[in-house]
Amino acid sequence: PSPTRTSTSKMASDTPCLETTSGPATSAEISNLMNLMQGMAADVASIKMDVADIRGNLETLGQRVTSVETKTGRLGGRMDDHEARLAKVEDDLAHQTRYAGELWDRVQDLESRSRRNNIRVIGIPEGVEGSGLSGPTLLLTVLRECLSLGEMESIEVERAHCTLGPRPPLDQRPRPIIARLLRFQDRERILRLAREAGELHWRGGKIMIFPDMSQELAAQRKLFTPARRRCMELGIRYALQYPAVLRVTVNGRQLKFEDPEEAIRELNRIPDQNRREEDPQPQRK
């Protein structure tokens, strides 16, 4: 056979033959199938591009999540550090507050001890010492005329002066006089005689003698006033000791109260002896 016929037969055998169920495919069907395949190829390429974009977005998102986790870890470490520092500051503040309270108590104790020889006299008119009498001499004169002090008793007054402040008018209460005695025993004897005498009068005016103390201590002792009144109603012995401690004797038993509310609560539990005597005794059946 000739070479031309052989090559033609080989090309015919290598070319695919498209056939349909009804017979060989026509050129129009082949063209439509080629277009469909090209469209599918374009769609596949578009899907690949979308997948590539999604993969890139996922990688970006993963990097952002990693960055956020890293920052969150750092933030958590900083929060732990801040919490530790805050706890330390709170501990230091509690210590400083406790230490300041102890210092304040010491200051109050020192101030009260510096006044342990002082007395406060209320009711002496203003300007009485202008007649040539000094403060200590005037005070000794008032004390000897108001209290049963012997002429031979040696009471030494270191100094006596009015409290700081402007001089009040004549129709108002005069300023108190603060006097410092040389001996603590003299101060206690004067206060005891003033309590035993009751009301004191000098030149037609009422005189009152009190122990001198700081304003804070006076306010603290004043809180025991309801408890003291309750003791007087019950007819029991009591004593308000330094600095602010109420001691009560009930049926021969000593009770000590440092809290005013606790004192009035315990005293209210004690039956009133006068009320018990007034109540009629129940009859036995």
pTM listed for this prediction: 0.58
C-alpha to C-alpha distances, 246 to 151, 188, 240, 262, nearest whole angstrom: 36, 19, 5, 11
106-141 pLDDT per residue, tens:
998 899 889 999 999 999 988 887 666 788 888 988
Instruction: Let me know: does 211 contact 118? Beta carbons within 8 Å.
Output: yes
Report residue 4's pLDDT band, with 50, 70 and 90 as the boundaries: very low
69-99 pLDDT per residue, tens:
777 767 667 777 888 889 999 999 999 999 9
Who's near 217: CB < 8 A, 6+ residues apart? Answer: 108, 112, 243, 244
198: amino acid identity, one letter: G
Asked if residue 263 has pLDDT above 90, the reply is yes
Q: Give pLDDT, residue 131.
A: 62
Rounded mean pLDDT of the chain?
82
Q: Give pLDDT, residue 152.
A: 56
Pick the CATH number of 116-212 from 3.40.50.280, 3.40.718.10, 3.90.1170.50, 3.30.70.1820: 3.30.70.1820
Q: Which position has the token pair 């050129």?
A: 27
Decide whether 116-212 matches 213-271 in CATH topology: no
Asked if residue 281 has pLDDT above 60, the reply is no
Please tell us whether the domain made up of 213-271 is placed in CATH 1.10.3720.10.
no
Size (the chain), residues: 285
Q: Give pLDDT, residue 24.
A: 58
Tell me the domain boundaries of the chain: 35-113, 116-212, 213-271
Asked if residue 168 has pLDDT above 80, the reply is yes
More confident residue, 131 or 214: 214
Specify which residues 209 forms β-bridges with: 121
Of 211, 219, 140, which is closest to residue 178 (Cα–Cα)?
211
